[in-house]
Amino acid sequence: GTPEGAFKVVTKDWNPDWYYQGKRYAFGDPQNILGVAWLGLDAPSGSASIGIHGSPDGDGIGKKSSKGCIRLRNPDVAEVYDWVTIGSAVTIAP
């Protein structure tokens, strides 16, 4: 699930590639789940990165449908992407 607590944005990527189980899915690939933007957090996650990202599939928004990430609709993550900088504080609460 998504870890709770206070974190910081450590990476920002527009039109991100998605890396999963040793494979790279380029931006635009139908199997790439990241949408138009990725905001990586310094959250504990084991082997995967945790972040805030866009989603081309609005059905997964607000549901436990990811591996711990927070999904936003592409227009929403694009707006958030412009607001934050590396080091911006992010609080994840229930």
The residue from 9, 34, 52, 53 that is catalytic is 53
CB 84, CB 72: distance < 8 Å: no
Residue 53 annotated as catalytic:
yes
Q: Which strands form 5-14's sheet, in the order they lie side by side?
A: 70-73, 51-55, 37-41, 5-14, 89-92
Q: State the catalytic residue, choosing from 9, 39, 69, 77.
A: 69
What amino acid occupies position 36? V
Active site residue 8: no
Q: Where are the alpha helices (DSSP H) in the chain?
A: 74-83
Of 90, 88, 91, 72, the closest CA to residue 33 belongs to: 72
> Which residues are catalytically annotated?
53, 69
